[in-house]
Amino acid sequence: MPDNTLKMLENIMDVASFRNKILTSNIANADTPGYKAKDISFQSELDKSVAESTRSYTVFETVPTMINRDGNTVSIDSEMTKVAENQLLYNSAAQLLSMKFRMMKDVAKSGGQ
């Protein structure tokens, strides 16, 4: 049975990287009148990238908890929480990927014994 760990970690990092761009764009537009906060469903996009080996993501407007008078739906607190959560996920995948490469390197050095 093939080990799909590398591909899965790559997919996690790709989806997290894309989501980070969206979330930071939301933060950058926090003062833009009429701007609607956007996001992706991390789990759905990860499942899709594993099943279809695709790099296209479905972006949607988030459901606002409160709309500013200018029509902007960005909540800085909410976006910062999402960015922190997303960064933890990305960093965890990067650490696991690094460990996997170290293990492969050790096996190669020992000749697979």
User: Angle formed by the axes of helices 76-110 and 5-28, to 10°?
Assistant: 160
Confidence bin at 113 (pLDDT 50/70/90): low
Domain span at residue 23?
5-110
Nearest Cα residue to 34 out of 68, 84, 59: 68
Vertex 60: Cα angle to 58 and 66 (nearest 5) = 160
For 44-68, what is the mean pLDDT? 88
pTM of the model: 0.86
Residue 2 has what pLDDT?
56
Domain count, the chain: 1
Q: Quick one: tokens of 59?
A: 């972006």
For 15-32, what is the mean pLDDT? 97
Q: Does the pLDDT at position 57 exceed 60?
A: yes
Amino acid code (one letter) for 50: V
Percent of the chain with pLDDT over 90: 70
